[in-house]
Amino acid sequence: MDKDILIEYLPLYKDALFLTMKIGWQGILLAFVIGLVGSAILYFKVRVVKNILGVYIEVFRNTPLLVQLFFIYFALPKVGVQISAEACGVLGLGLLGGAYMIETFRSGVEAIPIIQSESAASLGMSHFQILWHVILPQAISISVPGILANVIFLLKETSVFSTISLMDLMFTAKDLIGMYAKTIECLFLLVVFYLIMLLPISIIGAVVERRMRYGQFGD
Amino acid sequence: MASLGIDVLFKGTNLLRLLQGLWVSIEISLISVVLSILLGLIVGVLMTINNKFLKAILKLYLETVRIMPQMVLLFIVYFGTTRVFGWDMSAESSAIFVFTFWGTAEMGDLVRGSIKSIPTIQFESAMALGMDKIQTYIYIILPQTVRRLIPLSINLITRMIKTTSLVMMIGIVEVLKVAQQIIEANRNSSPNAAFGVFLVVFLLYFIVCWPISRLATYLEKRWA
């Protein structure tokens, strides 16, 4: 391995990391919002919307992100919907993640004993108040390990962004290998940068999960 | 809809080629899933053995697979190892190797989880009856874990099929690549073909994965 080449490539990878993180986190934020709104809709059993949401969840959970991105990026412009590559990445990741987040939140909501919402109702709280003050705070804390697992999964999925010509880590590595054939150095930096991105969250996830288990012990 | 490229699919053997492309990804995933399940059973049992050294190695293996995007693993095997060791590895065999490497870890963790969820009394009763370790596993533990494992492994199949769409990146001609070729070839006659063709690819993946994941959910509920 050539040290000079590593140093030479470092800034390129740094830029790519920032781009990947930027799109990744925006997409995850979108996924989180979709998850919250979606699980609220499922909780209130809003009629037609609930069924549409069900179809959305099944479709996006059962197709690869790569195919979803191709559809948004290459197919939608043909019917007049033009989106930039970055927005397309955020949207694709958000829609995929949203489908997973809804499921995670829902299982969190289902884990809360029915007596909680019944007690709140007997105190005279409205449906929305029950959701906002009683169900959601508990549901979110129950689903934290699941949410973190989803975050890691989504950050890993960002590796397919290179196919819609976003200059992410994967794109940079592939590009540099193609141009200068310094395969080993490029792959080494690729692994290092993915570790920088994913290792901290993975460690946080492990710690939180252990904490949660202790948290349940006293119950 | 004629201008949106559905008609392109019925030109010549285009639809057949698309389905053949889909079969390539399904074939790779099926081979990898079968290998993963077999190896995963072994790895899962090894994970439950109380040996510090073994545990550390398997933990490292599991975490590596969990943390690295599959695409990075594909690149390392397809571009990296061929360079370092100078051997010749086809794209298909690199893909199968990577997906088996990944699937084995996932499966191993599922097996470990299922074994751990079996009450200790089962082990103790077997021991009280004078069974040795291997007998306990074959006659008592594995039959019970298999029932919990089947829905989880079916889920692994859909994840595998979804992940194999990545093999396009190392030059395997699968359904997305075929779709791109069809769109390119008909660029002049129907410039909007991308919509229809990618829509069909989208639906094809859904048609393949959805029944499998429904089956997994059904079995999970029934056998829970």
Q: For B49, which DSSP code?
A: S
Spatial distance between the Cα atoms of A134 and A116, rounded to a whole number of angstroms: 7
* Amino acid letter, B200: V
Q: Do A67 and B176 touch (CB under 8 A)?
A: yes
The answer to whether the Cβ–Cβ distance between A202 and B67 falls below 8 Å is yes
Q: Which regions of chain B are under pLDDT 70?
A: 1-3, 224
Residue B189, pLDDT score = 81
> For the residues A76-96, what does the mean pLDDT come to?
90
* pLDDT above 70 for A215: no
Look at residue B84 in the predicted model and tell me its pLDDT: 83
Q: Indicate whether A218 pLDDT > 50.
A: no
Domain that holds residue B50: 2-223
Residue of chain A nearest B157, judged by CA positions: A62
Widest pairwise Cα distance in chain A: 71
> What's the complex ipTM?
0.86
CATH fold label, A3-217:
MetI-like fold (1.10.3720)
Nearest to A170 among B71, B179, B198 (CB): B71
Q: What is the pTM for the complete model shown? A: 0.87
Q: What is the pLDDT of residues B68-127, one digit of tens each?
A: 999 999 999 998 888 888 888 889 999 999 999 999 999 999 999 888 888 889 889 999
Domain count, chain B: 1
- Taking residues A184-213, report their average pLDDT: 88
Mean pLDDT confidence for A63-77: 92
B4/A79 Cβ within 8 A? yes
Q: What is the mean pLDDT of residues A4-30?
A: 92
Residue with tokens 């291997």, as numbered in its chain: B134
Q: Between A182 and A55, whose confidence is greater?
A: A55
- Chain A contact set for B171 (CB, 8 A): none
Of B203, B101, B92, B136, the residue nearest A64 (C-alpha): B203
For residues A27 and A93, the answer to whether their CB atoms sit within 8 Å is yes
- Indicate the pLDDT class of residue A214, thresholds 50, 70 and 90: low
Residue A217 has pLDDT above 50, yes or no: no
* CATH number assigned to the domain comprising residue B24: 1.10.3720.10
Once rounded to an integer, what is the mean pLDDT over residues A154-180? 89
What's B129's DSSP letter?
A: T
How many Cα neighbours within 13 Å face the side chain of B35? 17
Using the predicted structure, report yes or no on whether residue A219 has a pLDDT greater than 80.
no
pLDDT score for A144:
87
The one-letter code for the residue type at B183 is: I
| Cβ contact B205–A67 (<8 Å) | yes
pLDDT given at position B1: 46
